[in-house]
Amino acid sequence: MKNIKLIISAVFLTLFSISCNEEDFLNEEPFDFYSPENSFTTPEQIDLAIVRLYKDSQSVFVGGVVNTFALFYTTDVGYDAIDPTHQLNSWADKITPETPEVKWYWVNLYKMVANANVVLSRIDGVAYASEAERNVKIAETKFFRALAYRTLGIMYGGVPLALEELSAPKRDYVRASQADVFAQVISDLEDGATNLPEADAVEQDGRVSKGAANHLLAEMYIITQEYDKAIAAATAVIDNPNYALMTERFGSRVSEPGDVYWDLFRRNNVNRGTENKEAIWVAQYEHLAPGGGDPDNFARFLAPLYWQLKDDDGVNIFFSHSSQNGGRGIGWWAASDYMLNQVWEGSNNDMRNSDFNIIRDVLVDNPESKFFGQLMVASGSIDNFPDPYKRWWSALFAKSLPIGNFPADVIADPATGETNNGASSTFNDRYMMRLAETYLLRAEAYILKGDQASAATDINAVRSRANADPVLAAEVDIDYLLDERARELFTEEFRLLTLMRMNKIVERVRLHNPMHNGTYESFNINETQNLWPIPNTEIERNTEATLEQNPGY
Amino acid sequence: MKKHLKNGLLYRQFPKIGLKMKLTTFLLIVSLFQVQANSYSQNTKLSVDLENESIENVFYAIEEISEFRFLYESGQIDLDRKISIKVNKKKISDILPIIFRGADVDYKIRGRQIILTKKGLGISIPKADTPNGFSNKNTAVQQQLSGTVTDTEGIPLPGASILEKGTTNGTQTDFDGNFSLGVSDENTVLEISYIGFIKKEVALDGQTELTVVLQEDTAKLEEVIVIGYGTATKSDLTGSVSRADLATATETSNVSIVQALQGSIAGLNVGAVTNAGQNPSLSVRGQSTLSSDGGDNAPLIVLDGIIYRGSLIDINPDDIASIDILKDVSSAAIYGSQASNGVIVVTSKTGSAISGKPTFSYSTSYTVQTPSNRFEPMNAAEYEQFYPDIFWDRGGRLAPDFLQVGPSYVWQNNFKTNEIAEGFAAGLDTPWNELLTGDGSVQTHNLSVSGKSDAASYFISGGFTDQEAYIKNDTYKRYNFRVNLDAKITDWLNIGTQTFFTVSDYSGQSANYDPTPRDGGAGQHAYYYLQPWAPIRDGEGELIPNPEGSWLNPFLALEVQDSDVRLNLSSVLYANINLPIDGLSYRANYANNYRTRDWANFDSSAASFQGAAFKEHSSTWDWTFDNILTYRKTIAENHNINATLVYGVEKRAFNSTLATARNFAVDILGYNSLEAGDPTLNGAFSGKEEESSLYQMGRLLYNYKNKYFFTGTVRRDGFSGFGINDKTAIFPSAAVGWIITQEPFADSSSWLNYLKLRASYGQSGRRGLGRYDTQSQVTAEPSVVFGDGGPTFLGLETISLANPALGWETTTGTNYAIDFGLFNSRVSGTMEYYSNKTENILFAIALPEITGFEEINSNIAQVSNYGIEATLSSTIVDKGPWRWDASFNFSKVRNKVESILGADNDNDGVEDDLIGNGLFIGEPQNVLYDYEITGMWQLADEANGSIWEGFLPGTYKLNDLNGDGMISSLADRKILGYSDPSYRFGISNTISYKNLSMSVFVNSIQGGKEYYWGDDAPHSTGNWNKADQLSYSNIPKGGWDYWMPENPNARYRRLDNAGQFEAKPYSQRSFVRLQDVSLAYTFSNELTQKFGLSNLKLFLSGKNVATWTDWNGSDPETGVGFRPDNPLLRSYTMGLNVKF
């Protein structure tokens, strides 16, 4: 007995005293995530990191709902239609270092920069079949870094330039000059203009090409007042046989009544893969697919709250929100009178103002209304409906609404076209750059250079496609150009950035924004507000150096 | 006879009485040590060598050399018969036949007792209170009395001693706690005593039947406390360890065992719960680290000796024998790197039946729960009165004074849907809240059997808990099974297990609809916010998905199929070996804990009513192997040693698989046929994580003459989750104690009968980080579909910065304490002071997001923490059938940030604050750093142009601290107060009269002047924050005091808009709560025995009965402000415990 006891004890005590190899035992092995060390080592992985940049750019400019609309409704073309004190309606009161949108753009653009820097810092260690292949990927990455810094530079001025992957925390950022920021952008874009493939040679439809880099370069050279370079960059796009303004009906819905401008914005007509030669760079959306992209919620936010309108008997004018009327809008923001009416004054046959593209009246479709079957506005059915800020009705901008073409899953009743709450998006790819804008950029450069004739030619290239009367050279100036941009690019161009880079935001908001020009309110926009403030949280966190705030904030 | 003294039983007097006094009646004694005695008779071998001695002297001799006692009735045994006997190392069973060879005697060995009767009368064990019970010849018996001795639970105490005061006349209770005694005077006083219980004197006052309830000695100095990897008696302790009083824990509606401890132990902070099957938050001695997150401050849970990572709620409260809380750094230091938040040591029951026969126990309770604070939404009429106020500034009122209603303004146009408009027109008043909430209930049933024999002890139990919470369909069902076994294989080897299996069923989507359950959505409380005008169904009887335009109809939630079943199988297997060296033993613990969660959900209304479903399986497998060497020895009588060495390893593995589907072609099979969803939209996700720890620990408990005490420990810890540079660390501690009242100079008759001083110093750590937190992580997620109809591309992104230098957070602490007992321990208490310093705190520091990252995990800062704790217990009244016990506990903690990054970038000579993380040098950790409200902007200010940019009439005026004429978050915020409590106290009273007892517990958390502030402003709730949301959200009855043109001095700002600066009017959370009240009745033994029961108790209790507070919100303790969160429930429980 005693022996057994001793043996068992000895066995246990031996176990007890044997310690396993501590280092092995405590070694930590990741199983379900990647590390930078094993993630950016092959060309395929590098490309996935670049794919992420496409998503980042989509998040900043297209997704993000309320935040992205700040690029539109804070300007001359739009306003928040809910009420004067809502969201960012008053520049002086609402654009401050505490404003969530102010932080949102800063944070997300810098995240895009950081993601680009990881690729640029790692790509040299990756084996590529050729230097040319590597250079394409470098150029593609730099395009996105440039896009981020161009936007940061326009919005915030001279921002800190971070150009390397970070391996340790950093809290001592200082601002570069705005000129340095733009110089960096141009340097990155020039790389792109050299090394990116042509539009017909990109790996997948939706990837950026030389054209995209040149288009953005043209804008940058205008900012840096290098107009000849701007003209050259724009010309490189305009003269490129891959691109052309679409002048004939095309795409999936040619058989329906419409016009070519209408065709340009139909679902599945936007990508270059669908015979569209006007697209330069398109943000990708694929309905319901994993990674399909953030929905572009114009159909919810810009479309009016029409389906709640009542006639003077108090009877609903519409039986419901419906696909044929553009889905379930809530009229969160609306086009200003400038956008809705003034820019079209004197235009006769401008296709962009056609009944297909800007729908200013619709048929009353609730059989219980005495106006059933009549045009809502023309019949006077809503004359007595209180709509102080045109939230319930102004117009439907068909280019940002899949009118009559919502996906089946947001249709509540196929027989009537009634939609459910999901009918809130364009469900469409979205132009980030379109050739019409390249013409207008070149026109801008010509104007600034003093060559009004060439500017008029370019503007007329855009106008003639839209059947609009040509403009005379003498009539062309920056304000005319801005009007033309509004006509051609409403809901496409990021109007806030356009006006800020032209130093026009203060003037134009005071003139045309109904919350500032006295139409609804006379809110203030300060002279210094051509730049947004730096978020206070960033100043606070940057403990080891001072980030100077922009003047006036 | 000395060896009997330590048992403290009257037993020791027996030989004298039994033999010398020649008792004439049969005397039966049941030993408390029955069980040990059985083995005693088996194992003890005696040598007897007597020549021609009387039987009486033979008995005497055997009693001298052994613990055997002879019991017989005088006159039945011939004591004068002479025998000769010579045996060498024989068992008593072999000796007795020799003694009684040829005699007219029957004998029976019963433990240590040898019962003798005259042959033929048979051996029966009469009840002590039968007519041939006790009487003492030397006493002039005037009065015959009988009685029962029980503990406060009503459990009989066998072997309790009863002595007539001032005499040697006495007896002991039998198996069933019954006794019978003849006394000299009907008004005499009896002294009743029992080990571990407070001695009680009972004046007879003519009673002939007594029920004596003994109270456990609150000082419980001999109580065995679990201190981690071993035990120690309470008197040996040098650190700060509190034992929870679980006596009434099962009498209240606590689904989780720790809930019962809420407020009752100084330094242990238990949060309130509001959901079915929810674990309360736990912390010990406040917050030593920088994060106030509950998980970062949660104490380590040790269950049956093994670190337990599962959910506490999986442990059946009925299975718990004890809970010990290791509070100070030195006590907790044996758990090293995981101990700085304190350790809660939970021990499950074992078979320790006193009587040796199985004890069956059944308990059941039923609880009704109702919100402690009614917070009901408005009905249609009330809401219609309120609603137009939202739109006063949008035309609802006429400028400039906004006192006249705008005649042309149609506020009904703010309705979000036509359904609302129609409902309003039709005068609809849907009581959403009433329909979707209601009184909750908890039902419990527990059955167990326990017992102990020579070879084994066992505790086997099963339990069932069924909870329905306040919100419809918020349910929880739990099935518990436990087997605790200990088998004595040989006299040197014990093998056993503590194993439990718990099934927790959280199935069912509550009416608090959560559209994205997997993303941890908290539910939207739509049942509350839905307007009374909103219809539930349309004309065809179909549920309207968005009656209000915003939330999904909560009735759809009730149609969601949801199955959420979690299994927890935990098994500790152990072997205890007594090694050949005396006092040295080895214990191996091998523990496995396997927990799974199977969660499946099908929501037919998701994905635009095409249905979305998922099925997820996740499992966690933890195993631990501990080797523990223990050496206990008393050397040279005075040196008591208890030494422990531990070597252990732990491994934890997590696995998960998730499949999702949506857009179902046919949905009748729900989540059980994910393949019925659109195959292009299927999702598959999986995860796996592992972590490992290893540790070595040494501990020495030493005391000299039970007077001077020393404890020293060293633990070395390694954890895989730490940076490669810093995988291991060492945590030492030492503590001393001195029982002054043991000194010769102490006067034992003084009013101060016990006084002990303790002091400790030690280091412990906190891991603070999850596994993999030191590594930079890169995610790959579906990011882009290029072209139309193309494949999905993944996108790679680095989401965290690596920090390979991350190591342990270390807390160094001292603890000073005094334990005292006054007036024969009638009053006892403990006072403690501690002071801790935590360094290298693991903290996610906010980074400028220029970096691309929001934060980085770092070891930073130094925080000091000090506190006082006091506990006082007293038996205030103990007279006749009356008894009143009271106890009071108090605790107070303060902390201070001593250092953060150590940088002084602004060169002002003081280290910089880290405002981005809310950390300020010299201040406590949880500060309210915000704008100070000084008043309200009025319409007149706008009219005369004096209103500042960013403000509107009816918004708060803020203090412009730097006087620059504008408000900025950089310059105009300051510390307004602290969100931690100032102090806490609890008062408990138990009053009993005969079999009836009542307990009342009052719990309070107080803020003093500056502490315990929180945000209970109505506009802090997103839905009541601005006009858009208010336009589709119902609000509480009575509304709140909001600014309007006619109410310029309101407490809260205008309804529709905050302006650019959302300031908060904070309020204090201080409260006093009548937390527990319970009434218990224990049926008398005569009654219970008629039904064959040994104990029957009925109880009624109430929890959260009343609360006194100035907090405007739902509940101060849960911190729920003025918003419709799950309410704290008031509950009333009725139940019974029965043993047989």
Per-residue pLDDT tens over the stretch A370-393:
999 999 999 999 998 989 899 999
Q: Determine the Cα–Cα distance for residues B1041 and B1049; give it in Å rounded to an integer.
A: 9
Phi and psi at B76, nearest 5°, equal: -85, -25
Identify any residues that bridge with A78 across adjacent strands, giving them in sequence order: A335
Average pLDDT, chain B: 84
pLDDT of residue B129: 35
User: Which residue out of B605, B726, B847, B850 would a mutagenesis test of the A interface target, given it has the greatest number of A Cβ atoms within 10 Å?
Assistant: B850
CA distances from A200 to A131, A209, A439, B43, B387 (A): 21, 9, 20, 98, 59
Chain B: closest CA distance from residue A457 (Å)? 33
Q: How many CB atoms lie within 10 A of CB A220?
A: 25
pLDDT of residue B167: 78
pLDDT of residue A7: 65
- What ipTM score was computed for the predicted complex, to two decimals? 0.93
Cβ distance B775 to A31 under 8 Å?
Answer: no
Bigger pLDDT: B258 vs A210: A210
Bigger pLDDT: B145 vs B355: B145
Cβ–Cβ below 8 Å for B689 and A31: yes
Q: Which of B177, B388, B451, B259 has the alpha carbon at shortest distance from B1095? A: B177
Q: Determine the Cα–Cα distance for residues B738 and B818; give it in Å rounded to an integer.
A: 10
Average pLDDT, chain A: 93
Q: Lay out the sheet containing B241-243: strands in order across.
A: B241-243, B320-326, B343-348, B300-303, B306-307
- For B636-777, strand residue ranges (E) read 639-662, 683-704, 708-719, 728-739, 752-766
Q: Determine the Cα–Cα distance for residues B333 and B336; give it in Å rounded to an integer.
A: 5
pLDDT tens digits, one per residue of B126-142: 333 333 333 333 445 56
Nearest to A22 among B694, B847, B1057 (CB): B694
pLDDT tens digits, one per residue of A260-278: 999 999 999 999 988 899 9
Contacts of B81 (CB under 8 A, 6+ apart): B54, B55, B103
Q: Can you say whether residue B1088 is alpha, beta or left, with left for phi > 0 and alpha for psi between -120 and 50 degrees?
A: alpha
| Whether residue B715 has pLDDT greater than 50 | yes
**DSSP code, position B843:** E
- Count how many residues are written for chain B: 1140
Q: Determine the Cα–Cα distance for residues B527 and B533; give it in Å rounded to an integer.
A: 13
From A164-178, A391-405, A481-495, B1085-1099, the region with the lowest mean pLDDT: B1085-1099
Place of tokens 């002990």: B756
Q: Are strands A333-335 and A78-80 parallel, antiparallel or unpaired?
A: antiparallel
Q: Which of B1023, B1114, B1027 has the alpha carbon at shortest distance from B529? A: B1023
Bigger pLDDT: B390 vs B187: B390
pLDDT of residue B291: 76
Number of CB pairs, chain A paired with chain B, less than 8 A apart: 309
A345 touches chain B (CB under 8 A): no
**DSSP code, position B244:** -
Q: Which of A482, A431, A435, A440 has the alpha carbon at shortest distance from A460? A: A440
Burial of B668 (0-12, 13-18, 19+ CB in 10 A): exposed
Containing H/E element for B182? strand B178-183
Burial of B990 (0-12, 13-18, 19+ CB in 10 A): buried
Query: Which chain B residue has its CA at the smallest distance from A286's CA?
Result: B785
| Whether residue B181 has pLDDT greater than 80 | yes
Cβ distance B495 to B463 under 8 Å?
Answer: no
Query: Which chain A residue has its CA at the smallest distance from B579's CA?
Result: A9
Phi and psi at A194, nearest 5°, equal: -85, -45
Chain B: closest CA distance from residue A459 (Å)? 30
| Whether residue B603 has pLDDT greater than 50 | yes
Burial of A427 (0-12, 13-18, 19+ CB in 10 A): buried
Q: Determine the Cα–Cα distance for residues B213 and B219; give it in Å rounded to an integer.
A: 18
Q: Lay out the sheet containing B170-172: strands in order across.
A: B170-172, B161-164, B189-193, B200-203
Cβ–Cβ below 8 Å for B647 and A273: no
State the average pLDDT over residues B263-271. Answer: 83
* Most confident among B79-83, B128-132, B566-570 (mean pLDDT): B566-570
| Whether residue B292 has pLDDT greater than 90 | no
Containing H/E element for B988? strand B983-993
CA distances from B769 to A32, A135, A166, B691, B773 (A): 18, 41, 22, 12, 6
Cβ distance B897 to B921 under 8 Å?
Answer: yes
Q: Is the peptide bond before B400 cis (omega within 30 degrees of 0)?
A: yes
Cβ–Cβ below 8 Å for B850 and A173: yes
Q: Residue A252: pLDDT band by 50, 70, 90 thresholds?
A: confident
Q: Residue B766: pLDDT band by 50, 70, 90 thresholds?
A: confident
pLDDT of residue B532: 95
State the average pLDDT over residues B57-62. Answer: 82
A18 touches chain B (CB under 8 A): no
- Count how many residues are written for chain A: 553
A21 touches chain B (CB under 8 A): no
Chain B: closest CA distance from residue A308 (Å)? 6
Cβ–Cβ below 8 Å for B845 and A169: yes
Q: Determine the Cα–Cα distance for residues B779 and B772; give it in Å rounded to an integer.
A: 13
Phi and psi at B860, nearest 5°, equal: -140, 170
State the average pLDDT over residues B1125-1134. Answer: 87
Longest dimension (CA), chain A: 116
The proportion of chain B whose per-residue pLDDT surpasses 90, expressed as a percent, equals: 41
Nearest to A541 among B781, B847, B952 (CB): B847
* Most confident among A132-141, B78-87, B690-699, B1007-1016 (mean pLDDT): A132-141
Phi and psi at A195, nearest 5°, equal: -105, -15
Chain A: closest CA distance from residue B178 (Å)? 45
Classified as helix, coil or strand, B587 is strand
User: What amino acid is encoded at A271 in this protein?
Assistant: N
- Chain B residues inside the 8 Å CB shell of A312: none
Nearest to B681 among A93, A288, A307 (CB): A288
